[in-house]
């Protein structure tokens, strides 16, 4: 059986990659995918601890997270399409109207 | 003081009627047209007069020394101080209310004719009604603070009406001058009020006149003198006495009926009324009485000399008013309070008549006010001429007319009262001679001789309409019979007026009762002086018309000084006004702009600068926010893990 530490380390690595992606990429679609990556890294940590502790709670929370992620994907993609129709770009640097 | 108080519930109606007129004329007057304003403007004052007459007869029917009182509502309650809006009618208030509403009603009626062509008809009557309201509050107030409200109210109306034709800058400036000079006096009045309340102690809650009179004895004499003098400063402002008289001649810029009502008959007598009302205070301070008498006597003489050479018909009457007010203060100063109020009443009749007559002349001459361009007007204006002549004889003090009885009583008291002196009598008598002279000069130059107006103007001269001549006739009758309520002691029914007012003045008649021989001697002397004044004027302007010219050339310097009103306005300008303006300018630029505005703007500037630094964090770039979010999370996690 794979030790829990390995799985958590993988989860941390994926989360960090996702974070760096959110902070550094300019394409909204990529940022969006990075957010999905961060969510799934957290899911991985949940199931790993659930297995170690023989508890179903972690598994249940993963289902919730996946539901929210699905809803978020629907809303987020709609927003991106709408933004693209308005500005003809999906570069986040162009979306900076709310500033001083 | 007063024996007992009769509580009644209708006195508030007397000032309420004119206030209703103000609301009506201001809100609806312009829309409903002249017909409605002509009816309502004088009508409300007539209703006030009717109510005042009713109150007067109730007072006569009541026990001698009683007063009517009407508590309307509690006004101010702060700590121990408890002030009511309360109106009272005692003999003194009754005289004042009857004069204000009676003469006021006649002048309102006259105004419907005089102002008939004016564009601001409704505005005019709104102001005039507002004035009547304020004046009634002043004379009916039961406490000093309510009196002060009326005092300020009449000052405001005076300002509004002097500058009634505000399109002309000179009128607006005259109004401003009246307002500012009155403000100087009012500052003294207020200080006097504060000092009085401060020293009355904790036993006094309402500042009503009865209460103040009852406890004024607890105050030390020096403080009483200070209070009396400060209140007198207020009176000199309102009643145009030296040194604050300068606004009244300029106030002639207003419409002539306004000059008659406000600047001759009623408002300018407010100072006289106030001191008469506070007689219990003044009687305790011989120093203050001496000051009042001296200022009054000097003003009476000083203003009369300026009146000698003025060429504007209204200016002559204005200085005459200042001079006659001086007589009233002279009477107050020698403790003859009822004589002062008596002269106030007769003066209201004949001086209102003189001003209204002058207004009729100006109206008939198409706006001309220079008596050098008049003459012979009796041919065109018989009613105006006759009534003006009656008023002139009354003010000159010719026996049988109202002014004779009142002025003679003042001169007698100035000589014989315990506070009086032969010197005060001499000053007053000299002023009386000058009065007779300048009034005769005015009549001769205006109504007699040949007309000096241009042919064009002569063609249009006409007698005024009946709405204007009727008040003239009524006032002419009053100028004769008004004096018979106060005959010298021992004649027919004697001095009823004095007896009527006696409860208010607590028996201070200001002199011996039985100096009959002296009284007749002085009476003969003052009549002689008046006749002399008339004779000199007759010689100078009828017998030998070239004499005034020769005199003014020979006495060039003196004539110039008097013609220019002793350069008092110029002196005030240099000594008071210019330094004040400079100081104000300095305070404006140096203090207001630099310090106050600087502090306020500086605070705002500092905040704006600080925000300018911090707002740069708001880049609008979502990734920056996300990064700061991450940093925050890491810091907090770090704190929990290692902290």
B623–A96 CB contact, under 8 Å: no
Residue B68 in contact with residue B59, Cβ under 8 Å?
yes
Chain segment B178-196, per-residue pLDDT in tens: 999 999 999 999 999 999 9
B620–A23 CB contact, under 8 Å: no
* CA atoms within 13 A of residue B75's CA, in its CB half-sphere: 18
**List of chain A residues whose C-beta atoms are within 8 Å of the C-beta of residue B618:** 98-100
Q: Which of B621, B628, B630, B637 to mutate to test the interface with A (most CBs of A within 10 A)?
A: B621
Residue B163 in contact with residue B176, Cβ under 8 Å?
yes
Residues B525 and B454 in one domain: yes
Residues B381 and B530 in one domain: yes
Residues B488 and B349 in one domain: yes
- Judged by a CB distance cut-off of 8 A, whether residue B615 touches chain A is yes
Assess if residue A27 is contained within a domain: yes
Assess if residue A73 is contained within a domain: yes
Question: pLDDT category, B161, cuts 50, 70, 90?
Answer: very high
Contacts of B310 (CB under 8 A, 6+ apart): B316, B319, B563
Assess if residue B106 is contained within a domain: yes
Query: In terms of Cα–Cα distance, which of B331, B330, B309, B329 is closest to B319?
Result: B309
- Judged by a CB distance cut-off of 8 A, whether residue B614 touches chain A is no
The reported pLDDT for the residue numbered B2 is: 44
CB-count exposure of residue B556 (10 Å: 0-12, 13-18, 19+):
exposed
* Segment among B173-177, B321-325, B350-354, B447-451 with least mean pLDDT: B447-451
Assess if residue B69 is contained within a domain: yes
- Whichever domain contains A82, its CATH number is 1.10.287.3510
The 3-state DSSP class for residue B619 equals coil
CB-count exposure of residue B322 (10 Å: 0-12, 13-18, 19+):
buried
Residues B616 and B516 in one domain: no
Residues B581 and B539 in one domain: no
Chain segment A29-72, per-residue pLDDT in tens: 999 999 999 999 999 999 999 999 999 999 999 999 999 999 99
The reported pLDDT for the residue numbered B504 is: 86
Assess if residue B203 is contained within a domain: no
Q: Region B430-448: what's the mean pLDDT? A: 94
Domain that holds residue B633: 569-642
The reported pLDDT for the residue numbered A100 is: 66
The reported pLDDT for the residue numbered B507 is: 61
Q: How many domains does one find in chain B?
A: 3
Assess if residue A57 is contained within a domain: yes
Residues B34 and B161 in one domain: yes
Domain that holds residue A53: 4-90
Chain segment B391-404, per-residue pLDDT in tens: 999 999 999 899 99
Q: Which of A12, A21, A23 to mutate to test the interface with B (most CBs of B within 10 A)?
A: A23
Residues B349 and B421 in one domain: yes
The reported pLDDT for the residue numbered B14 is: 95
Assess if residue B330 is contained within a domain: no
Residue A21's Cα: distance from chain center in Å? 10
Residues B507 and B582 in one domain: no
Give the DSSP H/E element, type plus range, for residue B83.
strand B81-89
Query: In terms of Cα–Cα distance, which of B314, B345, B334, B481 is closest to B416?
Result: B334
Give the whole-angstrom CA distance, residue B284 versus residue A5: 107
Residue B320 in contact with residue B351, Cβ under 8 Å?
yes
Rounded to a whole number of angstroms, the CA Rg of chain B reads 30
Size of interface A-B (CB pairs under 8 A): 28
The reported pLDDT for the residue numbered B501 is: 87
What are the phi and psi torsion angles at B88 (to 5°)? -135, 150
B619–A96 CB contact, under 8 Å: yes
Chain segment B376-393, per-residue pLDDT in tens: 888 899 999 999 999 999
Chain segment B553-611, per-residue pLDDT in tens: 888 888 888 888 889 889 998 999 999 999 999 999 999 999 999 999 999 999 999 99
The reported pLDDT for the residue numbered B513 is: 54
- Judged by a CB distance cut-off of 8 A, whether residue B613 touches chain A is no
Residues B482 and B536 in one domain: yes
Instruction: Enter the tokens of residue B205.
Output: 């809650």
Assess if residue A98 is contained within a domain: no
Q: Which of B608, B610, B620 to mutate to test the interface with A (most CBs of A within 10 A)?
A: B620
Q: Provide the mean pLDDT of chain A.
A: 92
Assess if residue B373 is contained within a domain: yes
Q: Region B218-234: what's the mean pLDDT? A: 93
Assess if residue B593 is contained within a domain: yes
The reported pLDDT for the residue numbered B514 is: 54
Q: How far is CA B35 from CA B17, B104, B299, in A?
A: 19, 20, 43
A99–B630 CB contact, under 8 Å: no
pTM of the model: 0.81
Question: pLDDT category, A94, cuts 50, 70, 90?
Answer: confident
Residues B492 and B453 in one domain: yes
More reliable by pLDDT, B32 or B64:
B32
Is B17 a residue whose pLDDT tops 70? yes
The reported pLDDT for the residue numbered B291 is: 94
The reported pLDDT for the residue numbered B171 is: 93
The reported pLDDT for the residue numbered B3 is: 54
Give the whole-angstrom CA distance, residue B101 versus residue B53: 10
Question: pLDDT category, B511, cuts 50, 70, 90?
Answer: very low
Residues B434 and B573 in one domain: no
User: Which of B516, B548, B580 is at the close of a domain?
Assistant: B548
The reported pLDDT for the residue numbered A1 is: 81
Q: How many domains does one find in chain A?
A: 1
Residues B603 and B537 in one domain: no
């Amino acid at each position: 059986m794979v030790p829990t530490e390995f799985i958590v380390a993988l989860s941390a690595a994926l989360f960090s990659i996702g974070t760096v992606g959110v902070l550094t990429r300019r394409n909204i679609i990529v940022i969006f995918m990075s957010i999905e990556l961060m969510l799934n890294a957290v899911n991985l940590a949940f199931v790993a601890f659930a297995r170690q502790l023989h508890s179903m709670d972690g598994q249940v929370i993963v289902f919730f997270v996946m539901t929210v992620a699905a809803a978020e994907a629907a809303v987020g993609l709609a927003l991106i399409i709408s933004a693209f129709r308005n500005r003809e770009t999906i570069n986040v640097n162009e979306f900076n109207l709310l500033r001083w | 003081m007063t024996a007992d108080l009769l509580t009644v519930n209708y006195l508030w109606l007397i000032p309420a009627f004119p206030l209703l007129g103000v609301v009506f004329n201001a809100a609806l007057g312009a829309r409903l047209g002249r017909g409605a304003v002509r009816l309502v403007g004088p009508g409300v004052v007539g209703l006030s007069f009717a109510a005042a007459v009713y109150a007067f007869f109730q007072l006569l029917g009541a026990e001698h020394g009683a007063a009517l009182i009407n508590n309307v509502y509690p006004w101010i309650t702060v700590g121990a101080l408890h002030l009511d809006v309360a109106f009272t009618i005692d003999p003194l208030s009754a005289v004042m209310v009857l004069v204000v509403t009676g003469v006021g009603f006649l002048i309102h009626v006259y105004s419907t004719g005089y102002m008939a062509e004016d564009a601001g008809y409704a505005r005019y009557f709104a102001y005039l009604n507002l004035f009547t309201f304020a004046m009634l509050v002043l004379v009916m107030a039961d406490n000093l603070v309510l009196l002060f409200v009326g005092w300020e109210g009449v000052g405001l109306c005076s300002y509004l009406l002097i500058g009634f034709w505000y399109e002309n800058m000179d009128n607006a400036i005259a109004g401003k001058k009246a307002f500012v000079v009155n403000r100087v006096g009012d500052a003294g009045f207020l200080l006097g009020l504060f000092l009085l309340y401060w020293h009355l102690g904790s036993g006094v809650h309402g500042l009503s006149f009865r209460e103040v009179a009852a406890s004024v004895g607890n105050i030390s004499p020096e403080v009483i003198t200070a209070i009396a003098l400060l209140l007198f400063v207020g009176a000199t402002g309102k009643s145009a006495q030296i040194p604050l008289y300068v606004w009244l001649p300029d106030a002639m810029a207003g419409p002539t009926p306004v000059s008659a009502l406000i600047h001759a008959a009623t408002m300018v007598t407010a100072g006289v009324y106030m001191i008469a009302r506070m007689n219990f205070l003044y009687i305790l301070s011989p120093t203050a009485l001496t000051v009042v008498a001296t200022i009054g006597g000097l003003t009476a003489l000083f203003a009369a000399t300026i009146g000698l050479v003025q060429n504007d018909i209204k200016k002559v009457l204005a200085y005459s008013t200042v001079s006659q007010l001086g007589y009233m203060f002279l009477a107050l100063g020698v403790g003859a309070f009822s004589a002062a109020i008596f002269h106030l009443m007769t003066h209201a009749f004949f001086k209102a008549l003189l001003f209204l007559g002058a207004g009729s002349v100006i109206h008939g001459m198409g706006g001309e006010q220079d008596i050098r361009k008049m003459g012979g007007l009796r041919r065109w204006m018989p009613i105006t001429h006759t009534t003006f002549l009656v008023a002139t004889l009354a003010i000159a003090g010719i026996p049988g007319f109202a002014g004779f009885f009142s002025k003679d009583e003042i001169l007698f008291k100035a000589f014989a009262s315990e506070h009086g002196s032969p010197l005060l009598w001499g000053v007053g008598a000299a002023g009386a001679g000058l009065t007779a002279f300048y009034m005769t000069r005015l009549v001769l130059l205006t109504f007699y001789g040949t007309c000096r107006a241009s042919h064009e103007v002569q063609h249009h001269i006409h007698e005024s309409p009946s709405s204007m001549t009727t008040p003239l006739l009524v006032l002419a009758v009053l100028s004769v019979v008004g004096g018979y309520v106060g005959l010298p002691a021992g004649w027919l029914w004697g001095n009823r007026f004095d007896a009527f007012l006696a409860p208010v003045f607590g028996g201070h008649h200001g002199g011996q009762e039985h100096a009959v021989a002296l009284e007749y001697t002085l009476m003969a002397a003052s009549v002689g002086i008046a006749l002399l004044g008339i004779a000199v004027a007759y010689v100078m302007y009828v017998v030998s018309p070239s004499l005034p010219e020769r005199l003014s050339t020979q006495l060039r310097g003196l004539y110039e000084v008097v013609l220019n009103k002793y350069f008092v306005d110029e002196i005030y300008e240099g000594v008071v006004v210019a330094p004040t303006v400079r100081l104000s300018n300095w305070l404006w630029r140096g203090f207001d702009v630099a310090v106050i505005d600087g502090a306020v703007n500086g605070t705002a500037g500092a905040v704006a600068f600080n925000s300018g630094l911090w707002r740069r964090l708001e880049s609008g770039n979502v990734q920056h926010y996300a990064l700061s979010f991450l940093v925050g999370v890491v810091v907090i996690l770090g704190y929990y893990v290692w902290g």
